[in-house]
Chain A
Amino acid sequence: EAGVTQFPSHSVIEKGQTVTLRCDPISGHDNLYWYRRVMGKEIKFLLHFVKESKQDESGMPNNRFLAERTGGTYSTLKVQPAELEDSGVYFCASSQEGRLAKEFFGPGTRLTVL
């Protein structure tokens, strides 16, 4: 069974540019989560989709971040315009049930904003 995949694995952009991160969850998983780890800090929750609906987006830092999950399959996270403080590792996770105990995390996308 394929795991959660994320693309790209690394992205280096300049301040002010736009970047789109993609997450493909495990097939059949209705729940999809985005997390972010800024350098040296804890991994923080960004948002949670149930199918195509945003269940909880309380962790989204500001309106420069836009997450979508069209059709309830893969999800994208767009940062526009990117700022220096957006640098970090963005993780995606998916689960078949609401309980995150059965979730699977992707390898993350390392974003560097110069």
Chain B
Amino acid sequence: AQSVTQPDIHITVSEGASLELRCNYSYGATPYLFWYVQSPGQGLQLLLKYFSGDTLVQGIKGFEAEFKRSQSSFNLRKPSVHWSDAAEYFCAVEKNTGFQKLVFGTGTRLLVSP
């Protein structure tokens, strides 16, 4: 069965510092990979997705993620964190066969210190 692991439950980063959120997946083939963010009181918002091709994916709000097949990872990065980035981040995978459901990780809560 597919699974997604986000090993960090909480991460605190100083404003202006770089950020990397870890995500590892377990799936037989190359899945479709996603990162979502949930700010307080908001729904899940798609940051970026990887289907195929270039393994470095650019997303919204200055985020990027790199797919590494050898490590089964899809880590999310941002070079300089802003206070408004404080939120909960979810990694997810989907079978690439259409009409399939997402499998989410447990989420990482990002705190941004001044």
Where the two chains meet, the residues of A that have a C-beta atom closer than 8 Å to any C-beta of B are: 3-4, 31, 33, 35, 40-45, 48, 50, 55-56, 59, 91, 93, 98-101, 103-108
Contact = CB atoms under 8 A, between A and B. Distances in A.
Given A100-B94, A105-B43, A106-B43, A42 B102 contact: no
Closest 4 CB pairs of A and B: A45-B101, A105-B44, A105-B43, A43-B104
Contacts of A100: 94, 100-102
B45 A105 contact: yes
A3 B92 CA distance: 21
B43 A3 contact: yes
A4 B42 CA distance: 11
A56 B99 CA distance: 9
Contacts of A101: 32, 34, 46, 49, 51, 94
B103 interface: yes
Interface string B14-27: 00000000000000
Given A42-B106, A101-B32, A48 B101 contact: yes
Given A3-B43, A101-B46, A45 B107 contact: no
B43 A55 contact: no
B11 to A, nearest CB: 16
Contact of B102 (A40, A41, A45, A108): A45
B34 A56 contact: no
Contacts of B45: 105
B114 interface: no
B43 A104 contact: yes
A93 B51 CA distance: 20
Given A100-B94, A101-B32, A59 B101 contact: yes
B65 interface: no
20 contacts: A35-B104, A42-B103, A42-B106, A43-B90, A43-B107, A44-B104, A45-B101, A55-B99, A93-B44, A98-B98, A98-B99, A100-B94, A101-B32, A101-B34, A101-B46, A105-B44, A105-B45, A106-B43, A107-B43, A108-B43
